[in-house]
């Protein structure tokens, strides 16, 4: 573990006074208006460069031609059904990605809206799996200042300059507004989940302004962290000699991004709530039968602040007040007519017409006086619908109900509770921010990488069974929650057979849940087989359809692999990202693991075509850990990934066992351990088929059968082999702790055999070879070769290898994969030849993966290599977040090439930076665990040794020992 004064890396990366004058910071330092010392910073006039996407080489393109043709055909086929393929490299966004992102809005799982550092609202992710990246330019904050009896006036949109898409100044739309802000004296400061924009004398030289953006992302708070709302608190300081009348304006379009306003049928209405909260509701009727969305924009009226609204304005002046007329009204009067609150709902919009609303908050600021004005935004989309017919209630509906009008209550609570939220956020962040040992770049990058848990397409449901759209199953007569006529099975799916071996402890399900899930399974074409297991028939409910989180149901949680790879909870990537959830929301992490534990014991025999080689297989094999929980019907149609047959991947099952044990050890939750143990047994036994020479060690099969799905592996591999060794040790130790002696003996013996083979075949004196084959890259240095040891150390288990070998291999990775690429200023390249050249075998071997780099850095820290660890991790900061980097802040990609070209923006794996924090501050349960080697307590009987040595058959399904009927005993 890490201790002492160890951190050598540069401090004070971005002193605040270099961006904002010290005087302005002191003036704004009340009511939270001043940004923190540790924050990511940008000038608002910084140029947002277009990002450069990676390209494949000619030889790579030739090798992937057949795959490309099959993928193109698959994308077209999905489009013909009105669906987006989970991987679609052929369709490009209308808005090219640029270096302009900032902290997103809202909590987790209720849809998200990002906000660029220059103030634009963009990356609309309200509908699951659909992201509209272009900004909606009508959504703005603006300011109007009047002094000296009106002789001095200032007005401007609080965003710099004219943006792409604005028309001529002479029109009636938003181009007619005053876009007077240069941004030269305005700065953005980001420390997720908050952001500060400081306007130091813009547009009024005698007015200091801070806009503080606050979202309810609060670790261990499973209520408020689910709320779709954000607050914008304006702090105003008048440094002039004259009294100033200041009007702040929030404008908002009835749109969820892109051309969503074109569908028509949208309408707005004003509202007045309690405690001075008032504003406008914007009711949005979504297309394609998606759930409607209602926005609430509001401000809080106080003794010093007057709030007025304009419920509707348009862009053309037809049927409604134009944007130009609205602007002129505020310039002239500073507010709208109070009678607008009684206007009632507007007429629904016509197709192609964009309705907008405005909320004004006006106040007087005395000379050398200060004032605070608060706005809030909320969006209520209570139901989340997936494209194959399932509709769930979002998590926040447990507290606010399913009415779209709950947006009023959301903005009310946001405006009255945001100070409490900030107290909790600061209580969480301050111990890290004030740790003098830590480099500044690490502190704010650690928090800012969490943007993905909001902006990464997250869905958080209430954990109850879904309602089923009757259109999804022709001939059905009901769309009630979870209820369907079992006779309406479609002819297309009549051949489908889905079976599930059930976990014995199903006590968390109510009888009503069981009935609804049974009916749900029927609609999906299930013909449950009449097999029994532990007294339960497989025709009974598939348990992973019901949330089983112990005493408290925290719901079910999904997050995408990335906005370009639309697959939920991609497990080989979650392996890296899960440290963030385990640290901050451990109940969500355990819920995800329960979902996968139940999925391991489930089989879906529907046929799938695998695009890499054109062969076909079944969608989900029992005993295999799924690659993902699906795309268009998560939890029920898993493995949306169809490039390779992932039932033959060698890393998924070991990663499952390692994550289960880490979470079990970190939380000390014995009930969780008992519940998932049958799946651990099944996952381990499933891997026996890949140990073809019975030496205890699995072999790869000469294709990319792991998370590096373009990088072929032959024979024993450093990556998968190390994961397998770690899984053997974790499974044996967990068996011992749960009292399953036979399993513990079996897998300890395998571990002893496999470890000797692994070292003999791969260790070359300074690192472990890429694989045991004879290909040109078999001796390459893989950055991720010790991933299994990383998890072993993270879980408090004894090391897999001699400490000298571990540190020697990590040092080799540091010297070659890190320092030989731009002097260590880009991260760790995945593959490096022993001659010190980047491995050009395939596109992935030559890429730098951001999340893998963070994982390697965490591994170094766990083994006392602090200098190497932080230098390695800092390369990702320099390449992705610094001013001299490539502009990937708040959209960290899966990876980039050595010339900085990205692949897969807004990606899950970089959350692995929280593995570094985990290494620095391990969970209490691991720190306080007895310092004993539990493997030494597993005594192998002569009978077991003989039995294991005689095994020569391949086991796929778990045997009966995985489902013991007797109670577990804890022998910690």
Instruction: Please provide residue 681's backbone torsions phi and psi, each rounded to the nearest 5 degrees.
Output: -60, -50
Residue 906 to residue 565: CA distance in whole angstroms: 10
Q: What is the pLDDT of residue 527?
A: 33
What does the pLDDT average to over 159-172? 64
Provide the pLDDT for residue 484. 36
Instruction: Tell me which DSSP letter residue 99 carries.
Output: S
Work out the angle between the directed axes of helices 718-738 and 652-667 (0-180°, nearest 10).
40
Section 321-335 average pLDDT: 95
How confident is the model over 667-722, as pLDDT tens digits?
999 999 999 999 999 999 999 999 999 999 999 999 999 999 999 999 999 999 99
Q: Is the pLDDT of residue 743 over 60?
A: yes
Q: How far apart are CA 128 and CA 86, in angstroms?
A: 12
Give pLDDT, residue 530: 34
d(CA 235, CA 239): 13
Q: How many CB atoms lie within 10 A of CB 528?
A: 18
Q: What is the mean pLDDT of residues 108-132?
A: 93
Number of domains in the chain: 2
Question: What beta strand segments (E) does 88-159 contain?
Answer: 112-115, 121-125, 140-147, 152-157
Looking at the predicted structure, is the pLDDT value of residue 483 above 50? no
Section 842-867 average pLDDT: 97
Residue 310, φ and ψ in degrees, nearest 5: -125, 105
Question: Residue 165 pLDDT more than 90?
Answer: no
Q: Of 389, 416, 435, which residue is a domain's last? A: 435
Q: What pLDDT does 373 receive?
A: 98
CA dist 80 and 88 (Å) reads 14
How far apart are the two ends of the chain, measured CA to CA in Å? 22
Whole-angstrom CA distances from 701 to 435, 704, 852 are: 47, 8, 23
Rounded Cα–Cα distance for residues 311 and 298 (Å): 11
**510 has pLDDT over 90:** no
How far, rounded to the nearest angstrom, does the alpha carbon of residue 319 sit from its chain's CA centroid? 42
Residue 180 has phi, psi (to 5 degrees) of -95, -5
Confidence of residue 23 (pLDDT cuts 50, 70, 90): confident
Note whether residue 454 is domain-resident: no
SS3 readout for 568-584: ECCHHHHHHHHHHHHHH
Q: Which residue has the higher pLDDT, 833 or 543?
A: 833
Is the domain of 184 the same as that of 44? yes
| Same domain assignment for residues 430 and 562 | no
Q: For residues 806 and 521, which has the higher predicted lDDT (pLDDT)?
A: 806
- The band of 296, judged by pLDDT with boundaries at 50, 70 and 90, is very high
Question: What does the pLDDT look like over 856-880, one tens digit per residue?
Answer: 999 999 999 999 999 999 999 999 9
Q: At what angle do helices 787-794 and 652-667 cross, to 10 degrees?
A: 20
**Taking residues 768-782, what's their average pLDDT?**
96
The answer to whether residue 958 scores a pLDDT higher than 80 is: no
Q: Which of 318-327, 491-500, 597-606, 930-939 has the lowest mean pLDDT?
A: 491-500
C-alpha closest to that of 847 among 291, 55, 43: 55
Residues ≥6 apart with Cβ < 8 Å to 256: 124, 126, 127, 132, 284, 286, 293
3-state helix, strand, coil in the chain (%, to 5): 35, 20, 45
Residues 101 and 92 sit within 8 Å (Cβ to Cβ): no
User: Where is average pLDDT lowest: 229-238, 482-491, 927-936, 941-950?
Assistant: 482-491
The closest alpha carbon to 935, from 773, 799, 748, belongs to 748
Q: For residue 947, what pLDDT is reported?
A: 59
Q: What is the pLDDT of residues 66-80, one digit of tens each?
A: 999 999 999 999 999
C-alpha to C-alpha distance for 533 and 542, rounded to whole angstroms: 13
More confident residue, 720 or 521: 720
Percent of the chain with pLDDT over 90: 74
pLDDT at 5 over 50: no
Determine, yes or no, domain membership for 523.
Answer: no
Q: What average pLDDT does this structure show over 914-927? A: 94
Q: Examine the pLDDT at 952 and tell me if it is beyond 60.
A: no
Can you tell me the distance from the alpha carbon of 670 to that of 550, in angstroms, rounded to the nearest whole number? 11
Range of the domain at 753: 557-927
pLDDT above 50: residue 955? no
Identify the helix (H) or strand (E) that includes residue 89. Answer: none
Q: What is the pLDDT of residue 370?
A: 95
Is residue 739 helix, strand or coil? Answer: coil
Report whether the peptide linkage leading into residue 834 is cis, meaning its omega lies within 30 degrees of zero. no
Read off the pLDDT of residues 263-280 as tens digits, 9 standing for 90 and up. 889 999 999 999 999 999
Whether 464 is covered by a domain: the verdict is no
* pLDDT beyond 70 at 409: yes
884 lies in some domain: yes
Domain final position from 890, 907, 927? 927
CATH number for the domain harbouring residue 761: 1.50.10.10
What predicted TM-score, i.e. pTM, was given to this entire model? 0.90
Q: Residue 289: pLDDT above 90?
A: no
Instruction: Report pLDDT for 149.
Output: 75
Assigned domain for 462 exists: no
How far apart are the C-alpha atoms of 145 and 158, rounded to whole Å?
Answer: 13
Is-contact 593 539, C-beta < 8 A?
A: no
Three-class HEC string of 366-426:
CCCCEEEEEEEEEEECCEEECCCCEEEEECCHHHHCCCCCHHHHHHHHHHHHHHHHHHHHH
The residue-averaged pLDDT of 144-154 equals: 87
Question: Does the pLDDT value for residue 553 go beyond 70?
Answer: yes
DSSP string, 633-691: STTTS-----SS-GGG-SSHHHHHHHHHHHHHHHH--HHHHHHHHHHHHHHHHHGGGG-
User: Would you tell me how many other CB atoms lie within 10 Å of the CB of residue 615?
Assistant: 11
User: Mean of the pLDDT values across residues 343-349?
Assistant: 93
Decide: helix, strand or coil at residue 643.
coil
pLDDT at 330 over 50: yes
Measure the CA–CA gap between 5 and 887, rounded to whole angstroms. Answer: 32
pLDDT, position 18 = 77
For range 334-358, the mean pLDDT = 94
Taking CA 496 as the corner, what is the angle to CA 492 and CA 498, rounded to the nearest 5 degrees?
145
Coil/strand/helix, residue 810: helix
CATH number assigned to the domain comprising residue 29: 2.70.98.10
Query: What is residue 759's three-state secondary structure?
Result: helix
Calculate the average pLDDT of the chain.
87
H/E stretch holding 702 reads none
Taking a C-beta distance cutoff of 8 angstroms, is the pair 888, 879 a contact?
yes
Distance CA 31, CA 374 (A): 12
Banded model confidence at residue 22, pLDDT cuts 50, 70, 90:
confident
**What is the pLDDT confidence band of residue 939, given thresholds at 50, 70 and 90?**
confident
Is 597 contained in some domain? yes
Alpha helices in 785-865 (DSSP H): 787-794, 803-813, 850-862
Last residue of a domain, one of 887, 903, 927: 927
Phi, psi at 141, each rounded to 5°: -105, 140
Query: Lowest-pLDDT range, 108-122, 322-336, 884-898, 918-932?
Result: 918-932
In a domain, 944, yes or no: no
Give the confidence band of 297 by pLDDT, cuts at 50, 70, 90: very high
Kindly report whether the peptide bond that precedes residue 477 is cis, defined as omega within 30 degrees of 0: no
Do both 421 and 564 map to the same domain? no
**Is 517 among the domain residues?**
no
Reading phi first (left if > 0) and then psi (alpha if -120 to 50, else beta), residue 832 is in beta
Residue 94 to residue 131: CA distance in whole angstroms: 11
For residues 878 and 218, give the distance between their C-alpha atoms in angstroms, rounded to a whole number: 28
Would you state the torsion angle of the CA atoms of residues 670, 672, 673, 676, taken in this order, to the nearest 10 degrees?
A: 160
Tell me the average pLDDT across 804-812.
98
């Amino acid at each position: 573990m890490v201790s002492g004064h160890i951190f050598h890396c540069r401090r004070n990366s971005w002193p605040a006074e270099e961006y904002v004058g010290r005087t302005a910071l002191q003036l704004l330092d009340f009511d939270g208006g001043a940004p923190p010392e540790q924050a990511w910073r940008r000038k608002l006039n910084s140029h947002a460069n277009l990002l450069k996407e990676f390209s494949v080489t000619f030889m790579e393109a030739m090798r992937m031609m057949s795959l490309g043709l099959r993928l193109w055909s698959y994308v077209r086929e999905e489009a013909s059904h009105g669906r987006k393929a989970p991987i679609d490299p052929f369709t490009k966004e209308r808005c090219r990605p640029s270096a302009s992102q900032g902290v997103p809005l809202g909590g987790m799982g209720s849809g998200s809206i990002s906000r660029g550092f220059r103030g634009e609202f963009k990356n609309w992710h309200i509908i699951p799996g659909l992201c509209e990246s272009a900004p909606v330019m009508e959504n703005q904050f603006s300011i109007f200042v009047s002094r000296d009896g009106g002789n001095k006036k200032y007005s401007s949109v609080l965003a710099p300059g004219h943006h792409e898409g604005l028309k001529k100044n002479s029109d009636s739309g938003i181009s007619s507004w005053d876009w007077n802000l240069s941004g030269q004296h305005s700065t953005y400061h980001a420390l997720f989940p908050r952001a500060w924009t400081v306007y130091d004398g813009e547009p009024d030289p005698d007015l200091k302004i801070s806009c503080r953006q606050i979202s309810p992302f609060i670790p261990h708070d499973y209520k408020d962290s689910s709320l779709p709302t954000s607050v914008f608190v304006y702090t105003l300081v008048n440094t002039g000699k004259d009294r100033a009348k200041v009007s702040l304006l929030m404008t908002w379009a009835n749109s969820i991004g892109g051309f969503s306003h074109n569908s028509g049928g949208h309408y707005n209405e004003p509202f007045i709530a309690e405690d001075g909260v008032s504003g406008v509701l914007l009711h949005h009727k979504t297309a394609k039968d998606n759930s409607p969305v209602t926005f609430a924009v509001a401000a809080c009226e106080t003794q010093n602040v007057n709030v007025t609204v304009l419920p509707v304005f348009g862009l053309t002046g037809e049927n409604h007040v134009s944007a130009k007329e609205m602007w002129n009204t505020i310039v002239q009067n500073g507010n709208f007519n109070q009678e607008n609150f009684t206007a009632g709902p507007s007429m629904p919009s016509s197709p192609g017409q964009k309705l907008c609303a405005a909320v004004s908050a006006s106040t007087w600021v005395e000379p050398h006086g200060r004032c605070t004005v608060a706005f809030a935004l909320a969006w209520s989309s209570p139901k989340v619908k997936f494209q194959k017919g399932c509709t769930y209630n979002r998590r926040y509906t447990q507290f606010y109900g399913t009415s779209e009008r709950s947006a009023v209550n959301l903005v009310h609570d946001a405006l009255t509770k945001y100070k409490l939220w900030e107290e909790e956020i600061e209580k969480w962040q301050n111990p890290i921010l004030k740790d003098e040992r830590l480099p500044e770049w690490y502190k704010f990058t650690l928090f800012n990488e969490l943007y993905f848990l909001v902006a990464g397409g997250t869905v958080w449901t209430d954990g109850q069974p879904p309602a089923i759209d009757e259109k999804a199953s022709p001939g059905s007569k009901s769309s009630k929650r979870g209820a369907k006529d079992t006779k309406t099975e479609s002819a297309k799916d009549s051949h489908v057979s889905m079976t599930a071996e059930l976990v014995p402890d199903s006590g968390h399900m109510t009888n009503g849940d069981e009935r609804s899930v049974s009916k749900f399974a029927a609609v999906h074409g299930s013909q449950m087989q009449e097999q029994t297991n532990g007294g339960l028939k497989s025709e009974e409910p598939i348990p992973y359809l019901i949330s089983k989180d112990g005493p408290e149901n925290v719901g079910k949680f999904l997050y995408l692999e990335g906005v370009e790879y639309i697959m939920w909870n991609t497990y080989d990537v979650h392996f890296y990202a899960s440290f963030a959830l385990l640290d901050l929301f451990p109940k969500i992490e355990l819920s995800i693991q329960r979902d996968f534990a139940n999925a391991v014991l489930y089989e879906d025999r529907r046929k799938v075509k695998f695009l890499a080689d054109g062969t076909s297989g079944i969608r989900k094999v029992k005993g295999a850990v799924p690659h993902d929980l699906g795309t268009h019907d998560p939890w029920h149609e898993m493995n949306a990934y169809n490039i390779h047959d992932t039932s033959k991947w060698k890393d998924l099952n070991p990663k499952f066992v390692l994550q289960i044990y880490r979470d079990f050890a970190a939380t000390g939750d014995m009930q969780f351990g008992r519940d998932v143990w049958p799946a651990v047994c099944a996952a381990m036994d499933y891997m026996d088929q890949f140990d073809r020479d019975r030496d205890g060690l699995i072999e790869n099969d000469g294709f990319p059968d792991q998370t590096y799905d373009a990088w072929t592996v032959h024979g024993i591999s450093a990556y998968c082999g190390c994961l397998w060794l770690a899984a053997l040790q974790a499974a044996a130790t967990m068996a011992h702790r749960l009292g399953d002696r036979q399993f513990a003996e079996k897998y300890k013996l395998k571990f002893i055999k496999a470890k000797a083979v692994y070292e003999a075949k791969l260790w070359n004196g300074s690192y472990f070879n890429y694989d045991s084959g004879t290909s040109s890259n078999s001796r390459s240095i893989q950055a991720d070769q010790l991933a299994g040891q990383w998890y072993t150390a993270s879980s408090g288990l004894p090391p897999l290898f001699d400490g000298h070998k571990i540190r020697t291999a990590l040092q080799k990775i540091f010297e070659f994969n890190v320092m030989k690429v731009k002097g260590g200023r880009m991260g760790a390249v995945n593959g490096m030849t022993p001659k010190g050249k980047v491995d050009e075998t395939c596109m992935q071997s030559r890429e730098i993966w951001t999340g893998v780099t963070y994982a390697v850095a965490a591994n170094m820290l766990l083994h006392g290599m602090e200098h190497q660890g932080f230098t390695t991790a800092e390369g990702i900061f320099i390449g992705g977040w610094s001013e001299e980097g490539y502009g990937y802040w708040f959209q960290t990609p899966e990876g980039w090439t050595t010339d900085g070209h990205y692949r897969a923006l807004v990606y899950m794996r970089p959350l692995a930076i929280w593995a570094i924090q985990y290494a620095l501050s391990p969970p209490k349960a691991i720190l306080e665990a007895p310092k004993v080697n539990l493997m030494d307590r597993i005594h192998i009987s002569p009978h077991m040794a003989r039995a294991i040595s005689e095994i020569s058959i391949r086991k796929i399904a778990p045997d009966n020992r995985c489902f013991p009927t007797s109670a577990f005993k804890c022998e910690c």
